[in-house]
Structure 1
Amino acid sequence: MISVDDTERPGPTHTRIEELDVIRGAALLGVLVMNLVHGFRKPFAYARGVAPKESLSYTDRVVENVLYAIVEDKAMTLFSMLFGMGLAMFVLRAGCDGDAMRLLARRLAVLLLIGLLHAVFLWEGDILMPYAVAGFLSLLVIHRSDALLLVLGLALPAVFPLIAWKYPGLLPQGGPAAVAHYQKALSIYGHGTYGQVVAFRAPDIVTLRAHFLAVRGLAQILGNVLVGIFIWRAWFEQRHEWLFGVALGGLVIGGGYAIYRALLEFEPTSNAPATVLLRLGWNMTLVPLAMGYGAVLLILLSFNAPRACLLTLAPVGRMALTNYLVQSAIFSTIFYGYGRGLLGQRGVVDVVLMGLFVYAIQVIVSDVWLRCFQFGPAEWVWRSLTYGKRQPIAAVSFRRSGP
């Protein structure tokens, strides 16, 4: 996630880039929906064959396949790219000297700490830690050429499919022990007390989760971050004559492949060459499709009627970190044993409707909050810890402008 000050233009008078807030708010909805479908309503299972195949209704299966084709991994990709754009904007504002880079490193360290606390005490599906680690790695090349950033950003998504093909032993494996661990997770998450859930989850954060992300997720996220840095430095600040081309190309390339793979009902259970190519195609088309989504939103924002509707998403995007953490608090309580205990008891459509309801409330609450305060609560903590002193939080007047 990116804090509020990542969407301010540099200069004597900060100006909000509402378009980025809108895109972030839209991406947050996609992240929430997929977290509900694959993360909150049942425990994570990183090894194939560990979780038994669900018996879903026809409607649930159709909705799951549609989400798989148009949302899964795309919202995360868009968020990762926005995170990279935020890093580029921070460097542009703060400069390239050692003090500025140390401040940026502290900012990422604080995000890493927030992510660790989130993963242990709220929800094991945390994405903030991988973002922070990817941010640290991006500092190694953030001042290099645009061409290098783009090449690395587009190449890194190929890492996981190739590793899965050449070194399958590096990935979390199934087997009786993994199945038993999953069944224990079902019992503890579904019926355990809060203390039991935390005690069970904490070791997984430093074993299964860290292992899985190191092998599979980190290269993908880092590539997205580098593409985001490239987009901001080389393109986003320029005039947008290419928006229609980016939208069309991204939707055709990424959307076409996503639909093709969804129609195959592809399950990557082997390392055959055809399977590797399908994995590779999925990873390599996520960035074009995410860019296409972002470009479509920017095009819509250039027209008065859709702009008025889409701007309602800006406050929830401006408070993305706070809203992300609140979502974890709400839905872990709903699904885990120390709350409502609905783990494994709700289908895809049910949890999507829950997510839409909570998201709608967050849109309203975020708007009300930002009429009184300059930052969301979590953004304020992040900023204060980054600068080493308590930051003012009272609302100020921003001059708003488009990109």
Structure 2
Amino acid sequence: MGQPRIQDVDALRGFALLGILIVNITYAASGFPIHLAADPAYSSWLDHTVTWIGMVFFDMKFYLLFSFLFGYSFQLQLEAAQRAGASFKPRMLRRLAGLFVIGALHAVFLITGDILTVYALIGLVLLAMRGVKDRTALITAGAIYAYLFVTLGAATLFVDTTSILDPGTAVAAAHQTTQNLAGSLSDIIGEHVRALPTFGLAQLTVQGPTTLAVFLLGMVAGRHRLLQNLNGTEAVLRALQLVGFTVGLAGGLYYASAGGNENTGAVLMSVLTAPLLSAAYAATLLRVMHSDRGQDVRRVLAPAGRMALSNYLGQQVATTLIFTGIGLGLVGEVSPLETMAIAVAIFLGQVLLSHIWVSRLRYGPVEGVLRAVTNATALSWRKVDQAA
């Protein structure tokens, strides 16, 4: 039998899926966020408030939680391979190659920008560092954030972003992107491909380095099983809430008030404080799930997190069918509040479908494929009553 799944990890991953969807859906619903421009069609106080809430509480927060859990699971997979007497490196190289292919297809057909290819490439670095001591991993993570502090700080002081981000040009480009997303499949693919260099630059300068740093933190946490055998009363959880909400929310407020990704200083503040807010979210959810009245939260979220990759891709399939020209064509026609409501509705549907799926099969649809690639075995999703 395989090792039992850690329900807290699955539930945290399921929770992260909701936050990721609330962020990503904005890039499917309109061409304006892609170009860092405000849509003049949605300029009421309610529209601004919903957008502001998204920046404070969601932007740049949930991919960090997902990345931490990737690093944590990486360590568990390493130890599982050791127990099975299997060579871990070939397994993980196949897994990362499979993830890269899935991510590349995802970026071309389903979404403007992609995180899976970043995970695959940064995962190679994590694989190379799997044997480093905890101290080395933590110092490396700290050095990455120090590097970001210096580079983004220098950009804030010496680079005039107003000369780069011309509002008129951005609005015109946003209208064109919206039109492309409302067009044919070739128009949509062309838009996605044209956006790859822009998103690639952002991933190279910010998202990639922070992903590696949090991967390393997750790996160290996995070594010490920090997410196992919790009872919700641990002092460290309360400390994470106190520090994380205090500092993280202050950073989120500054990020939103200063213009979000349009302002390098705001990005720097978010980079430095978002990890703390992500940690506070995780600590709060863990405390809730271990309370007498909160155990149902774990039971609700865990199946969605158990098949997180399938659900992540499924989110993009849903938004493609809702917003683009090959579906309902609602791109540019939905307000920020309606967009957020659609995100919640998609997530609730995924939670329900996840419960149905895992009650019958052990692996999610894409997880089964990736597992077959990882282990170089025949494709099988296995029924729940079979051995892992």
Q: Does the 8 Å contact 2:14/2:302 carry over to 1?
A: yes
Relative distance call for 1:279 and 1:117 in structure 2 (3 A) is closer
Mapped partners of 2:143, 2:268: distance in 1: 11
Relative distance call for 1:381 and 1:238 in structure 2 (3 A) is closer
The one-letter code sitting in structure 2 at the alignment partner of 1:199 is G
The one-letter code sitting in structure 2 at the alignment partner of 1:30 is G
Match of 1:84 in 2: 71
What is the deviation of 1:120? Answer: 0.7
1:379 is aligned to 2:367: yes
1:16 alignment partner, SS class: coil
Q: Does the 8 Å contact 1:51/1:182 carry over to 2?
A: no
From 315, 320, 330, the equivalent of 1:327 is: 315
Relative distance call for 1:88 and 1:376 in structure 2 (3 A) is same
Mapped partners of 1:398, 1:255: distance in 2: 45
2:5 alignment partner, SS class: strand
From 5, 11, 16, the equivalent of 1:27 is: 16
Match of 2:100 in 1: 112
Per-residue CA deviations over 1:337-378 (Å, capped at 9, x if unaligned) read: 222111111111101111111111111111011111111101
Per-residue CA deviations over 1:161-198 (Å, capped at 9, x if unaligned) read: 533454688x99546877665443222112x1112221
Q: Does the 8 Å contact 2:64/2:211 carry over to 1?
A: yes
What is the deviation of 1:210? Answer: 2.1
Match of 1:223 in 2: 213
Match of 1:259 in 2: 253
Pairs within 5 Å for 1:348-359:
348-359=336-347
What is the deviation of 1:332? Answer: 1.3
Alignment TM-score, normalising by the size of structure 2 = 0.87
1:315 is aligned to 2:303: yes
Relative distance call for 1:132 and 1:34 in structure 2 (3 A) is same
From 55, 70, 82, the equivalent of 1:95 is: 82
Between 296-305 and 365-374, the greater mean CA deviation after superposition: 296-305
Q: Does the 8 Å contact 1:80/1:224 carry over to 2?
A: yes
Q: Does the 8 Å contact 2:82/2:88 carry over to 1?
A: yes
What is the deviation of 1:67? Answer: 2.2
2:293 alignment partner, SS class: helix
RMSD, aligned CA: 3.0
- Percent identity, aligned pairs only? 27
Relative distance call for 1:118 and 1:261 in structure 2 (3 A) is closer
The one-letter code sitting in structure 1 at the alignment partner of 2:43 is L
1:208 is aligned to 2:202: no
What is the deviation of 1:218? Answer: 0.7
1:184 is aligned to 2:193: no
Match of 2:351 in 1: 363
Relative distance call for 1:95 and 1:157 in structure 2 (3 A) is same
The one-letter code sitting in structure 1 at the alignment partner of 2:11 is V
Match of 1:244 in 2: 238
Q: Does the 8 Å contact 1:87/1:229 carry over to 2?
A: yes
What stretches of structure 2 of length at least 5 have no aligned partner? none
Q: Does the 8 Å contact 1:161/1:279 carry over to 2?
A: no
2:87 alignment partner, SS class: helix
Q: Does the 8 Å contact 1:157/1:284 carry over to 2?
A: yes
What is the deviation of 1:201? Answer: 2.4
1:342 alignment partner, SS class: coil
Mapped partners of 1:91, 1:226: distance in 2: 14
Count of residue pairs the alignment pairs up: 379
Q: Does the 8 Å contact 2:32/2:171 carry over to 1?
A: no
Relative distance call for 1:270 and 1:302 in structure 2 (3 A) is closer
Mapped partners of 1:398, 1:246: distance in 2: 39
Relative distance call for 1:372 and 1:131 in structure 2 (3 A) is same
Q: Does the 8 Å contact 2:55/2:255 carry over to 1?
A: no
The one-letter code sitting in structure 1 at the alignment partner of 2:81 is A
Match of 1:5 in 2: none
Q: Does the 8 Å contact 2:32/2:178 carry over to 1?
A: no
Q: Does the 8 Å contact 1:154/1:227 carry over to 2?
A: no
Pairs within 5 Å for 1:49-64:
55-64=42-51
What stretches of structure 1 of length at least 5 have no aligned partner? 1-11
